[in-house]
Amino acid sequence: MRIGEVAGRSGVSKRMLRHYDGLGLVSPSERTSAGYREYSEADFRRLVKVESLRSIGMSLGEIREALEGEPSVAEILAQLEAETEARLEAERALLVRVRSLMSSAPDSVESLLSYLDAVRTFEERGDSARYRAALSVPTGLALVALAQESDPNVIGALQWSIRQDASAEAVLLELLPSLSEQERGRLVELLPDVVPSEVLEAEGSRVAVFELARRGERGVVGALLDLIEQGVDDVEAAELLAGMASGEDVAEIGQRISDASSVEVKLRFVQALAEIPLIEAAELLRELTRSEDRQVALTAEAILGRASGS
């Protein structure tokens, strides 16, 4: 193909094709019998790759490097995706640091230098140095460090330090948009009492459900019943449920007992009734004493007997 044909077929101007040729990026590799240079199909495919990569913002220098070794378009894009994700992660980490610095509001060069020294401590120094620093670092930095810390003693010190700050929840709200999903989950796990309710609701983990229950959020009643049914921390779930259970919740327990396919699940729900005030649970317990399942009936009788004796 002559240059005019390539320009018409690709939409790339002759001027740009000559520029690519001068750079050695896409050059005609064949010659006619008369000595004219022509583009082969392979050259044309390379031109299409170049234009594709230019369309997503790569510079000609980056394209030249990407095309070394004649990789496929899919391979080039996979490499570009990985490099872009790495850059975004680096930018996100920088944003987290900037916001944590802003939240600490350093009011002098000395306080800024102190903050930066604390950052270096958490990045470069040993457990004992991080432990000492954790007791006095600004809350923003403490939250970022906690999301990444692995040493139990340093974690404990950071938790203590953050809980001393009455504004910790507000600082956390400022930082949250910059944190990764994994970092947010870790802070919910380690600091549920500091995390705002809306964040806990979005997280939906067991720890988040339990903290919301402690705050009296009735929206987690279903999740507590699910944990009891699954046998996952069912005793704690039952205790938390008792603090907010209504007649409607007791009716739901009765339905779940009726629907349960195993005795173990039924017994967990019956035992959960023992935590609920008798005024709410008595009617269902009396009904369960007539259950065809002997273990269920005996457990219900025992709960009523203990309640009567007390």
13-32 tens-digit pLDDT: 999 999 988 988 899 988 88
Question: Residue 95: beta bridge partners?
Answer: none
Q: Give the residue from 203, 223, 199 showing the smallest Cα distance to 213.
A: 223
pLDDT at 35: 81
Burial of 298 (0-12, 13-18, 19+ CB in 10 A): middle
Q: How many helices (H) and strands (E) does the chain have?
A: 19, 2
| pLDDT (average), residues 282-286 | 92
pLDDT at 272: 92
pLDDT at 127: 74
Mean pLDDT, the chain, whole residue set: 83
Do 44 and 9 contact (CB within 8 A), yes or no? yes
Q: Examine the pLDDT at 184 and tell me if it is beyond 70.
A: yes
> Can you read off the two tokens belonging to residue 24?
């050695």
| pLDDT (average), residues 63-79 | 78
Q: Examine the pLDDT at 85 and tell me if it is beyond 80.
A: no
For residue 252, the SS3 value is helix
pLDDT at 163: 92
Which residues make Cβ contacts (< 8 Å) with residue 192, sequence separation at least 6?
Answer: 200, 207, 208, 210, 211
The 3-class secondary structure across 11-43, one letter per residue, is CCCHHHHHHHHHHCCCCCCEECCCCCEECCHHH
| pLDDT (average), residues 169-183 | 83
pLDDT at 147: 86
100-120 tens-digit pLDDT: 655 555 555 455 455 555 656
Angle at 208 between CA 99 and CA 171, to 5 degrees: 20
pLDDT tier, 125 (very low <50, low <70, confident <90, very high otherwise): low
pLDDT at 234: 92
Q: Examine the pLDDT at 159 and tell me if it is beyond 90.
A: yes
Give first-to-last CA distance, the chain, whole Å: 98
d(CA 268, CA 236): 12
Burial of 90 (0-12, 13-18, 19+ CB in 10 A): exposed
Question: Residue 241: beta bridge partners?
Answer: none
201-260 tens-digit pLDDT: 888 889 999 999 999 999 999 999 999 999 999 999 999 998 888 889 999 999 999 999
Cβ atoms within 10 Å of 150's Cβ, excluding its own? 7
CA 235, chain centre distance (Å) = 28
Q: Examine the pLDDT at 98 and tell me if it is beyond 70.
A: no
